[in-house]
Structure 1
């Protein structure tokens, strides 16, 4: 498996955001694409949908019912975003040879980690997720620098923030590449950390369990 570099991932994120038809209703990948790209796309798509709903949920002149609809959409997209992040981690771990392919999706994966390898607290998939969010922040801040209905002081302030966001994305991209390099060499590893979003599960959320009993 050809593991995606940070440069390839950030270029994909930016290319998607530049497409007027993005986000699509579903991710369509080419047969030649590695499986990991399906989930990088799903993660980015749901982050974009989530971003739009978060903006709408801050409205102050609409009904509480409208905001409730936004909140339900936020929950749905956030869950899908986290699910895709886990799948990115699974695919990267398989590609790195750090986990048995057949057990990668289970809660007890069989690892192939070398002795002495350090455990990285953040997963590569989480970094991909953060890179996606960073691309959205960069686009939004760039749009602020191009506004004509504000004064120059506003645009200048946003240009400074945009420079910092680009620096932060570059730092994160370097950390992602370094983690994968270290993992290839047996110096580091990461695990899939299941989110177990209990509030979205009607079997585990106490409020939903109580509702079901009524």
Structure 2
């Protein structure tokens, strides 16, 4: 019984700490990217490949690069050929983002594969990794909204409006972090279970996209 309690305590500690770990790594990735602030720069992941931290850092790096690609492509003066090139890049990035989410969910599936389900256990509306995906995007929103709230060349009204939005984003991150930690605790205790449904994207598949397969 003592061993079981010790194990449950360790699992609960991991769950409660997971979003703190995630948020710290997301912030690190964003700060690292902005050292050069160049979408073409190579990632330098500081974590070992067998660590969940490695996946979290890589996930946010993909999100951060794509964030800036989305900014670039909205330039009204962009060259159309360049815009198409970036659109193709964004498409590839979206696929990489989806793959990374599935890798993270696979980590959780393996971690909790031995958990016995309680009577009446239910499935969540989304998997842990898709919730963590939203947490990664929130980190980017917070970073860039803080930039706007502190922008010296902007009006007082602009900075004040952005500060109000920043306050909401910070509260949203707190709530989402709590919800993810609770979900992980419930999965660890057998109150919830998870499945991973592979994203069946059709537009990237030449055999499923009619525009592509009708040309062959």
Query: If the length of structure 1 is used for normalisation, what is the TM-score?
Result: 0.85
**Aligned-CA RMSD value:** 2.1
Distance 1:154-1:184 versus aligned 2 partners, 3 A rule: same
Structure with greater contact order relative to length (CA < 8 Å, sep ≥ 6)? 2
Distance 1:21-1:63 versus aligned 2 partners, 3 A rule: closer
Distance 2:202 2:60 in 1: 23
Kindly provide the CA deviation profile for residues 45-83 of structure 1, in whole angstroms up to 9, marking residues without a partner as x. Answer: 111111111111111012211111111011011110010
Query: If the length of structure 2 is used for normalisation, what is the TM-score?
Result: 0.84
**Aligned partner of 1:75 among 72, 76, 91:** 91
| Contact 1:42–1:81 (8 Å) recurs in 2 | no
Q: Report the alpha carbon displacement of residue 145 of structure 1 after superposing the two structures with TM.
A: 1.0
Distance 1:90 1:52 in 2: 28
Equivalent position SS for 2:159: helix
Distance 1:129 1:41 in 2: 12
**Aligned partner of 1:56 among 43, 67, 72:** 72
Determine the structure 2 residue equivalent to 1:106: none
Determine the structure 2 residue equivalent to 1:65: 81
| Contact 2:63–2:136 (8 Å) recurs in 1 | yes
Structure 1: runs of 5 or more not aligned: 100-111
Q: Report the alpha carbon displacement of residue 39 of structure 1 after superposing the two structures with TM.
A: 2.2
Q: Report the alpha carbon displacement of residue 117 of structure 1 after superposing the two structures with TM.
A: 1.1
Range with greater deviation from structure 2 (169-178 or 60-69): 60-69
Q: Report the alpha carbon displacement of residue 116 of structure 1 after superposing the two structures with TM.
A: 2.1
Alignment of 1:182-193 (within 5 A): 182-193=186-197
Determine the structure 1 residue equivalent to 2:109: 93
Determine the structure 1 residue equivalent to 2:18: 5
Distance 2:214 2:114 in 1: 42
Q: Report the alpha carbon displacement of residue 29 of structure 1 after superposing the two structures with TM.
A: 2.6
Distance 1:26-1:197 versus aligned 2 partners, 3 A rule: farther
Alignment length (residue pairs): 198
